[in-house]
Amino acid sequence: MTKKAKQSPDAPREPSNIFLIAPDIDNHTLLEYACVSLASANVMASDFARNLNGAQSNTLLGIQQSIMLGELAVNRVLDNLDPP
């Protein structure tokens, strides 16, 4: 492996191309996938927090709440794009 040269903080970010999303996937599909992924992470974090005690449980529940808020935001965008 070679070392990366330090980049300016203002330089455009170049994401890794190890995992790619096909460029022809539409926004609605991407948002639906994001919503399902966030819902799964929400459940996993909540379940895992039950196995912890004290500060660790509280920290994970805080992370779980952040995941839930992201899920709610994605759901709102989906609702805005495709009202019921």
List per-residue pLDDT tens for the chain, 84 residues long.
555 556 677 888 777 888 888 889 999 999 999 999 999 999 999 999 999 999 999 999 999 999 999 999 999 999 998 877
- So what's the pLDDT on residue 77? 93
Cα 51 from Cα 25, distance rounded (Å): 38
> Token pair of 13, please?
């970010």
- So what's the pLDDT on residue 20? 83
Q: Please measure the distance between the N-terminal and C-terminal CA atoms of the chain and give it in whole angstroms.
A: 51
- So what's the pLDDT on residue 80? 92
